[in-house]
Amino acid sequence: MTQQVQVKQSTIKAPLLEVKELSKHFVVSTNLFGKPKESVKAVNEVNLLLEKGETLGIVGESGCGKSTMGNTILRLIEPTEGSIFFEGQDVLNMTRAQLQEMRKEVQMIFQDPFSSLNPRMRVFDIIAEPLRTHKVANGKELHRRVYELLDLVGLDQSQADRFPHQFSGGQRQRIGIARAIALNPKLIVCDEPVSALDVSIQAQILNLLLELKEKLQLTLIFIGHGIPAVKYISDRIAVMYLGEIVEMADKESLFSKTRHPYTQGLISAVPIPDPSLREVSEDVILEKDLPDQRNLPKGCSFYSRCPFATEKCKGEKPKLKANEEGHLVACHYPLHA
């Protein structure tokens, strides 16, 4: 693992975020003495490097740990092991004051715009809240900033006095975005920001995120299960399976030279909105569901569903390794080798 991190590190100038061997285990049951008996490894020894200004997409099926990872990076969930460095600072060993300071720089956009906005607060106050909490602005300056943010996300200033329920899903997501960019953050973790929206609105929000990214020089982590949307917005994509990154590469490379059988299955499962390709598209159907996460197979976690699995895969866990092009894969027998 450390080897590949070094490979990547030499190509990246200044990482904005570095995640090392990050794990989060949830204890499911304890024994008589309160010691953990069974635990689910939601995130398991994940390594990530995020360059300034890039968008990293994270895809995977539900339960693969992508949201847990997003939450852990913001320390909304305390990780079990590993370390996180934001601009070189160790996030996990920060004092409260330091953490507070860091949270200005790292923001989050949530999936459900219906439950992530306080129904009793007016839009103005929702967007103003981070500015007030961090004592960035008050009085006239606060008003100016909130109206500026409303403009940026494409909402009308006259809507500032309304409550969230008076808005549609797409508009609510815009409010959530305005709140997230209020403090001029460097990194935004977007946890499935378009999954709950209608198709015609999804495109609006994706384009808004792209536009804001350019304008405000943001770095994004875009978590999603809708692969086309993640592909549209990301520069680099990490594929997660059962808490681990099984493949990570530039977007073009990931789709044209897919190396992990799981990624291949995932991509081929995406319905293509073009009926003329119905017969042409080859199917790699992933049989079965995700295995029980309490007792994962000892070897490769994908062993039970992989069409190419051998004895080696059953016994030995493949490590995430890069090829010459920096395309990372955790598989003993990668495709396109």
CA dist 269 and 284 (Å) reads: 7
List the helix and strand counts (H, then E) for the chain: 11, 12
Contact 330, 246 (CB under 8 A): yes
CB-nearer residue toward another protein: 150 or 266 = 266
Q: Does 257 bind another protein (CB under 8 A)?
A: no
CA distance 172 to 198: 13
- Identify which of residues 74 and 230 has a Cβ nearer to another protein in the complex: 230
CB of 169 to another protein, least distance (A): 8
> How far is the CA of 231 from the CAs of 44, 57, 254, in angstroms?
24, 7, 10
Which residue among 85, 114, 147, 255 contacts another protein (CB under 8 A)? 255
The span from the CA of 186 to the CA of 292, in Å, is 37
For residue 28, state whether it binds another protein (rule: CB under 8 A): no
Near another protein in 47-106, by CB under 8 A:
61-62
Interaction between residue 286 and another protein (CB under 8 A): yes
Our CB check for another protein shows the closer of 292 and 311 to be: 292
User: Which stretch, 2-10, 28-36, 76-84, 219-227, contacts another protein (CB under 8 A)?
Assistant: 219-227
Work out how close the CB of 252 gets to another protein at its nearest, in angstroms, rounded to a whole number.
Answer: 7
Q: Is 204 in the site for another protein (CB under 8 A)?
A: yes
Between 260 and 279, how does the x/- string for binding to another protein read (CB under 8 A)? -----xxxxxxxxxxxxxx-
Q: How far is the CB of 253 from another protein (least distance, A)?
A: 12
A 10 A CB-CB count for 5 gives 17
Q: Which of 57, 26, 72, 65 is nearest to 242 (CA)?
A: 65
Least distance (Å) from another protein to the CB of residue 198? 4
Minimal distance, residue 111 CB to another protein, in Å: 14
- Contact criterion met (CB below 8 Å) for 16 and 50: yes
CA distances from 236 to 37, 244, 249, 250 (A): 37, 16, 6, 4
**Whole-angstrom distance, CA of residue 132 vs CA of residue 182:** 10
Which residues sit at the interface with another protein, rule CB under 8 A? 61-62, 168-171, 198-204, 206-207, 225-229, 231-232, 252, 255, 265-278, 283, 285-287, 289-290
